[in-house]
Structure 1
Amino acid sequence: MDRRPLRFSTGSIRMPFPEWLRDYKSAWFRPDIVAGLTVAAVVIPKALAYATIAGLPVQVGLYTAFVPMLIYALLGTSRVLSVSTTTTIAILVASALDGVASANDTARLMTASATLTCVVGAILIVARLLRLGFVANFISEPVLIGFKAGVGIVIVVDQVPKLLGIHFHKGSFLHNLLAIVQGVPQASWATVAVGAVMIGLLIAMERLLPRAPAPLIAVAAGIACVDLFGLSAYGVETVGHVPTGLPALTLPDLPMMMALWPPALGIALMSFTETIAAGRAFAKRGEPVPQPNEELLATGLANLGGAFLGAMAAGGGTTQTAVSRLSGARSQLSGLFTSLAALGTMLLLAPLIGLMPEATLAAVVIVYSVGLIQPSEFRDILKVRRTEFIWAVVALVGVVLVGTLEGIVVAIILSLVALAHQVSDPPVHILGRKPGTNVFRPQSGEHPEDETFPGLLMLRPEGRIFFANAQRIGQKIRSPITAVRPKVVVLDLAGVFDLEYTALKMLIEAEKKLREDEGITVWLVGLNPGVLVMVRRSPLGETLGHDRMFFSMSHAVAKYHAGETGG
């Protein structure tokens, strides 16, 4: 039997369609049905809520839980990843659409959303063609933590007016915060009561019944209360009319593409980052690991297909994927059942959704957005490294004060600055030998007993040495030489995986100056194969020869003790 993967080729793209069916086991069918319907009970209410975050009609949430979920289930490489939309993507979509379409012009708003989603999908597919899956690693974890916390704060402040039943013109974060404070006296206390009850219900169920579909129960409870107690008469606002049936075909608008591609780039990056992070986090041992470039294709096509059928920008969500895993999902078939459940809701339950209180949706959004704010993660970063804690805080403040789309730029710039800082200032350790062993380690106050040897200075630079950091490393090496004035300097290069030409030239000149002007001999130890080849091909290799290059530090120390300095 032919066991090769089922793939269709389109240029340099290989489409797994759907490859997971090849190894499907009949015993997985029942768990996949249960998991798919359980995830639907969580995803559908949240998708409705996220549509309101994005400033879109509530039914867009249903479309997003249907089309992108369906396409990803067929093409994705993660068995349990649930793809619809997330709080982060929703708030980014809201920022992108704010300057393009008015909330009062539903037709233009839907066109703008379709255009944005189409561009996001196209960017992800182009990224797949260029094999840019590695870009997911370009945002450091501390910066991502700060960014998500900032998004969580922005979303909570954005939803509080719906909990209070107040209205005002939205502006900057500080403007909205002040308007909320000023609007409290005009709050609808019936709306406040509904919101408070819903938040209490959601929190209680998350803690006491973590496997229960809390969002679905809260939504059902809200609809029931409107019907039973006539809450609309007390000023409690509801979602209103939700159209029944399949979404209408929506075509992107070319002029809008020119205005929307910059925010679409940020949304595409965040969609892919969240997708690959969630997919990797919930992959079990023995399951296929999500492949970044294939995930770019799957999420790109999920967005592109969804764009024409009313869906907003989509990506993998951590919470819904966790539910999928806990519910026993075995394969992507569970995602197909979630998608079909969304389709059934569109065709049969849309009128009921229209009775849902706005405060209920706001409660769902707030409870699940607060999870983006994790003070413990900030504390953990601070314990390990203060500098990266500052980066996390700056990312948070950037999102809150500058804006979410601009916050992505801040996050990327911070990550790149962090990377540049790390590679431009690598450590250079002064080594000592652990007594009675051949273990050489950086000197520290914790090990004052470590041995050093008169006239011998042992140094260990680490990382890639190239033009951007060669001068800085030279300064770090020069400082202890000036202080100690040794006869021999041993450079342990075992931690140096690459030595660029500019750095090699500086090392050649430094060795010559130390030897001719100061009578100090330089030895090299533990060269990696690539570095060794470069050194041997250079004048430094001829100068040092075999006598001044060693396999290990212990060999160099033994030779020094034998009285052979090689000078």
Structure 2
Amino acid sequence: MGNAEREDAYAPPVSVESVHRVAVPPPQPFVKSFANTLKETLMPDDPLRQFKNQSPRRKLVLGLQYVFPILEWGSKYSLAYFKSDLIAGITIASLAIPQGISYAKLANLPPILGLYSSFIPPLIYAVMGSSRDLAVGTVAVASLLTASMLGSEVNAAENPTLYLHLAFTATFFAGLFETALGVFRLGFIVDFLSHATIVGFMAGAATVVILQQLKGILGLDRFTHATDVVSVMKSVFSQTHQWRWESAVLGIAFLFFLMLARFLSQRRKNLFWISAMAPLTTVILGTLLVYFTHAEKHGVQVIGELKKGLNPPSIMDLNFGSAYLTLAIKTGIVTGVLALAEGIAVGRSFAMFKNYNIDGNKEMIAFGMMNIVGSCTSCYLTTGPFSRSAVNFNAGCKTAVSNIVMAFAVMVTLLVLTPLFYYTPTVVLSAIIIAAMLGLIDYNAAIHLWHVDKFDFFVCISAYIGVVFGSVTVGLVTAVGLSLLRVLLFVARPRTLVLGNLPDTKIYRNVEQYPKTDSVPGILILDIGAPIYFANASYLRERILRWIDDEEDKLKDSGETSLQYLILDMGAVGNIDTSGISMLEELKKNADRRDLKFVLVNPGAEVMKKMSKSKLIETIGQDWIFLTVGEAVGACKYMLHSYKPKSDIDSV
């Protein structure tokens, strides 16, 4: 019998022609197809939808509201909202003032910059941000990262002016990068910082920050600029003769007070204000204690003089022409991405509690603009820290007006109260930082990762170890690298599963997940669980051929019907490239050599388009591409019972 006659003998019978067929999508012009793909990639939420069928005037109003969300909710603002925002704003100001001073010192910057950074950026965010609960300010991890990266090449103590200018320049580039991500809707870049990465990185950074505060707790004048635990502990124990017991006693006492306040606030949610007011209370108590006891003359270090007045302009201090420009850009991008990840995650968390949505790309633009403006007004990097936002949320804020109230409270401090901080002991700032950082070490999250996903736990621990024993940058790069490796493994080594029939149904599922499924004699059904690209085409070919060999060996040992049909369920194959097409062609040829009929089920639209253009559909046969596994198995069963095996036909 000739080849043509043999193929006709195995064409699906007329009774099977009524099954549903997989359609090839109609051709689209390249420009339109590319535009649709780009839109789905960059604008899955379709932000332009609201402008459709609107008058030019209405489009202008909607556009302004999109860029400045305050125009949308501001018209509905009420006195009742203001009362809640006023209380929340004053409450977070009591936390922002001591934290701002503390984190600025952590970044090796003048303490006054912490107050500057709590004045201008919150005002910008209140106008452009979409979160009602986010409280803007500096964060410890970004401050540490700034000190670590800039301090690797510029000594803040020896060249404070250059260091300060580089901090402003890094903030500018962080804002520029954040704004660009939002404008071009590239926020998915931040998604490469997985949950496991952030848990491990934050815990490691918090550990490093706590160890760095031993300088303040022990009253040491000189300390290592390195952040790894070995260097820090060596610096601490090599100066035991300079430890100040007065400073240590004060630090431990204030830290105990702060932890007690946090414990009480966690036990009863209505006492949140105790934890919020505790940092400012410790500053006041510490300042009064030093003032009346003259402890500064007995080894207790104090902040010293803080300049009165509002933020001076710093636009002329941006350093674009020096040899350190690359350092500033690198620092800005790394700290900017980290600040975005934390700010957006915090904003989304609290939005979920109040059942509203925030636009991640709008948040990026808001963060970017507040850092660009901040870099020109003597501020360094700001975002939405969790601790401050949690206080804002618990205090009952209604809108971003709470940020405006906080900014004005900081403004009053800058204009009137800065001289009062002269006698504030630095050990108090160290205690405030340690108390805040202990909350970032989330060991429960690490335990949860261990129970749910061992690889994620490994990523988390790698980030932690990298930060603690290497550096902040090493830990971040290690964790992101491992996360990307996992993504590549998912793409390069997709799962292929054998499907079986659930008894008394036409449903086919994974035989490992559903052990009671029945195999179909003479038919091997495989499910491909990912798009087919050049990175996984060879692997899939080898894996499918091995499945065929295993199935043939099993049937041979059991004496059952020999393998006649190979069915590939491609429902999860959303796309395919030319390497994938070549792989399917090779599988078809291999199946022909083995006297197997090659059957496809439910290829996606993109897959059908490319198979059509490559003539693969003609090679396989349109009649052997089915919409469901059930229909494919039905056709194959019909053939098995209606026609002789190919070996019998060949012998005729």
TM-score category of the 2 structures, normalised to the smaller one: over 0.9
Residue by residue over 1:280-321, the C-alpha shift from the partner in whole angstroms, topping out at 9 and shown as x without a partner, is 111147765222222222111111111122211111111211
Query: Which of 94, 118, 123 is the equivalent residue of 2:172?
Result: 118
The one-letter code matched in structure 2 to 1:245 is: G
When residues 382 and 284 of structure 1 are mapped into structure 2, their CA distance, relative to the original with a 3 A threshold, is: closer
Larger CA deviation: 219-228 vs 330-339:
219-228
Residue in 2 that maps onto 1:239: 303
Larger CA deviation: 375-384 vs 101-110:
101-110
Question: Could you tell me whether the CA contact under 8 Å between 2:108 and 2:156 is conserved in 1?
Answer: no
Point out where structure 2 has 5 or more consecutive residues left out of the alignment: 1-54, 267-271, 553-562, 647-652
Secondary structure, in 3 states, of the residue corresponding to 2:567? Answer: strand
The one-letter code matched in structure 2 to 1:103 is: A
The 5-angstrom pairing of residues 253-332 of structure 1 reads: 253-254=319-320, 255=322, 256-284=324-352, 289-332=357-400
Secondary structure, in 3 states, of the residue corresponding to 1:145? Answer: helix
Query: Which of 216, 223, 232 is the equivalent residue of 2:287?
Result: 223
Q: Distance in 2 between matches of 1:276 and 1:537?
A: 43
Residue 115 of structure 1: how far off its partner (Å):
2.0
Question: Could you tell me whether the CA contact under 8 Å between 2:533 and 2:579 is conserved in 1?
Answer: yes
Residue in 1 that maps onto 2:609: 533
Question: Could you tell me whether the CA contact under 8 Å between 1:461 and 1:493 is conserved in 2?
Answer: yes
Q: Does 1:404 align with 2:457?
A: no
Query: Which of 119, 144, 147 is the equivalent residue of 1:66?
Result: 119
Point out where structure 1 has 5 or more consecutive residues left out of the alignment: none
Query: Which of 209, 227, 243 is the equivalent residue of 1:187?
Result: 243
Highest Rg: 1 or 2?
2
Q: Distance in 1 between matches of 2:501 and 2:224?
A: 64
Residue 144 of structure 1: how far off its partner (Å):
2.0
When residues 454 and 17 of structure 1 are mapped into structure 2, their CA distance, relative to the original with a 3 A threshold, is: same
When residues 25 and 4 of structure 1 are mapped into structure 2, their CA distance, relative to the original with a 3 A threshold, is: farther
Residue in 2 that maps onto 1:45: 98
Secondary structure, in 3 states, of the residue corresponding to 1:115? Answer: helix
When residues 224 and 441 of structure 1 are mapped into structure 2, their CA distance, relative to the original with a 3 A threshold, is: farther
Residue in 2 that maps onto 1:163: 217
Q: Does 1:498 align with 2:575?
A: yes
When residues 147 and 284 of structure 1 are mapped into structure 2, their CA distance, relative to the original with a 3 A threshold, is: closer
With structure 2 as the length reference, what TM-score do the two structures score?
0.81
Q: Distance in 2 between matches of 1:133 and 1:449?
A: 44
The number of residue pairs the alignment matches comes to 562
Secondary structure, in 3 states, of the residue corresponding to 1:267? Answer: helix
Q: Distance in 2 between matches of 1:150 and 1:224?
A: 34
Q: Distance in 2 between matches of 1:169 and 1:562?
A: 81
When residues 108 and 513 of structure 1 are mapped into structure 2, their CA distance, relative to the original with a 3 A threshold, is: closer
With structure 1 as the length reference, what TM-score do the two structures score?
0.93
RMSD (Å), alpha carbons: 2.4
The one-letter code matched in structure 1 to 2:180 is: V
The 5-angstrom pairing of residues 92-491 of structure 1 reads: 92-98=145-151, 99-172=153-226, 173=228, 174-184=230-240, 186-210=242-266, 211-212=272-273, 213=276, 214-250=278-314, 251-254=317-320, 255=322, 256-284=324-352, 289-444=357-512, 447-485=514-552, 486-491=563-568
The one-letter code matched in structure 1 to 2:234 is: L
Q: Distance in 1 between matches of 2:197 and 2:143?
A: 19
Question: Could you tell me whether the CA contact under 8 Å between 2:506 and 2:630 is conserved in 1?
Answer: yes
Residue 18 of structure 1: how far off its partner (Å):
4.4
Residue 185 of structure 1: how far off its partner (Å):
5.2
Q: Distance in 1 between matches of 2:240 and 2:549?
A: 68
Larger CA deviation: 83-92 vs 97-106:
97-106
When residues 518 and 85 of structure 1 are mapped into structure 2, their CA distance, relative to the original with a 3 A threshold, is: same
Residue in 2 that maps onto 1:76: 129
Question: Could you tell me whether the CA contact under 8 Å between 1:56 and 1:103 is conserved in 2?
Answer: no
Q: Distance in 1 between matches of 2:79 and 2:540?
A: 61
Q: Distance in 2 between matches of 1:18 and 1:354?
A: 41
Question: Could you tell me whether the CA contact under 8 Å between 1:20 and 1:332 is conserved in 2?
Answer: no
Q: Distance in 1 between matches of 2:525 and 2:76?
A: 56
Q: Distance in 1 between matches of 2:71 and 2:168?
A: 26
Residue by residue over 1:39-97, the C-alpha shift from the partner in whole angstroms, topping out at 9 and shown as x without a partner, is 11122211111111101111111011111111111111212211211111111111233
Question: Could you tell me whether the CA contact under 8 Å between 1:114 and 1:308 is conserved in 2?
Answer: yes
Secondary structure, in 3 states, of the residue corresponding to 1:562? Answer: helix
Larger CA deviation: 418-427 vs 122-131:
122-131
The one-letter code matched in structure 1 to 2:313 is: L
The one-letter code matched in structure 2 to 1:376 is: N
Secondary structure, in 3 states, of the residue corresponding to 1:523? Answer: strand
Question: Could you tell me whether the CA contact under 8 Å between 1:8 and 1:17 is conserved in 2?
Answer: no
Of all paired residues, the percent bearing the same amino acid is: 27
The one-letter code matched in structure 2 to 1:277 is: A
When residues 7 and 238 of structure 1 are mapped into structure 2, their CA distance, relative to the original with a 3 A threshold, is: farther
Q: Distance in 2 between matches of 1:179 and 1:187?
A: 12
